[in-house]
């Protein structure tokens, strides 16, 4: 259904993807993609960000929401990358998790999309909702959902699976009023909140 799909965040390198992913929390990718080209033209390098105070960055990212915390995270990450990693975004999960503002979701995006390393599964709101609807997990916690999906999905598919499910969540399997009659996997979905179904619906299969 989604051949060749990849991360929707516009980026040219690992640092830009890291920043874009931090900014995407509680914000649409469309909005982030409007902000980042101007941001990276103004501050082209990791060192440029590291030289800032968080308050200086706030006006540039205000429209993405939660801009004070995001400013602290981006500047903090830049400073640690400069001081501890020679100005290059690290390529391991543990090192990425040491950066301010970086949790497993962000680390998985960077590792999978840029470095092509299938270390985990990106679990955002779309992946959470759809994996519960498809009964791939019954958990609410992102970490537990990721573990469930890692047991089911072959490791070489982890990154692609994440991208495909996220796109499916944007295009068809939306939070309210999923477009079930247009869905190519409708016959294997038994979600209780389907809007149209040719199969039995399961009361426990909820988003």
Contact of 184 with 175, CB cutoff 8 Å: no
Per-residue HEC secondary structure of 55-103 comes to HHHHHHHHHHCCHHHHHHHHHHHHHHHHHHCCCCCCCCHHHHHCCCCCC
Is 148 part of the annotated catalytic residue set? no
Q: Which of 103, 97, 100 is nearest to 70 (CA)?
A: 100
In the numeric block, the tokens 């199969």 are attached to 199
In the numeric block, the tokens 């941001």 are attached to 39
Is 124 part of the annotated catalytic residue set? yes
Q: Among residues 60, 124, 148, 194, which one is catalytic? A: 124
Other beta carbons within 10 Å of 26: 10
Contact of 167 with 130, CB cutoff 8 Å: no
* CA-to-CA dists, residue 164 to 19, 27, 55, 193, 204, angstroms: 22, 19, 36, 21, 24
Q: Among residues 60, 70, 105, 194, which one is catalytic? A: 105
Q: Hey, which residues are catalytic here?
A: 105, 124
């Amino acid at each position: 259904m989604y051949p060749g799909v990849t991360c929707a965040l516009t980026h040219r390198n690992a640092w830009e993807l890291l920043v874009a992913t931090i900014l995407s929390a509680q914000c649409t990718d469309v909005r982030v993609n409007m902000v980042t080209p101007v941001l990276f033209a103004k501050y082209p390098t990791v060192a440029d960000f590291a030289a800032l105070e968080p308050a200086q960055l706030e006006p540039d990212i205000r429209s993405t929401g939660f801009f004070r915390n995001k400013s602290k995270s981006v500047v903090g990450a830049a400073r640690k990358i400069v001081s501890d990693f020679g100005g290059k975004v690290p390529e391991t999960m543990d090192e990425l998790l040491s950066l301010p503002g970086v949790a497993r979701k962000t680390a998985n995006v960077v590792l999978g999309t840029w470095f092509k390393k299938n270390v985990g599964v990106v679990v955002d709101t779309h992946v959470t909702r759809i994996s519960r609807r498809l009964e791939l997990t019954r958990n609410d916690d992102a970490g537990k959902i990721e573990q469930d999906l890692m047991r089911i999905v072959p490791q070489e598919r982890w990154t692609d699976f994440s991208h495909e499910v996220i796109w499916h969540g944007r295009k068809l399997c939306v939070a309210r009023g999923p477009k079930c009659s247009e869905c190519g996997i409708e016959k294997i979905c038994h979600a209780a909140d389907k809007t149209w179904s040719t199969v039995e619906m399961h009361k426990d299969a909820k988003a």
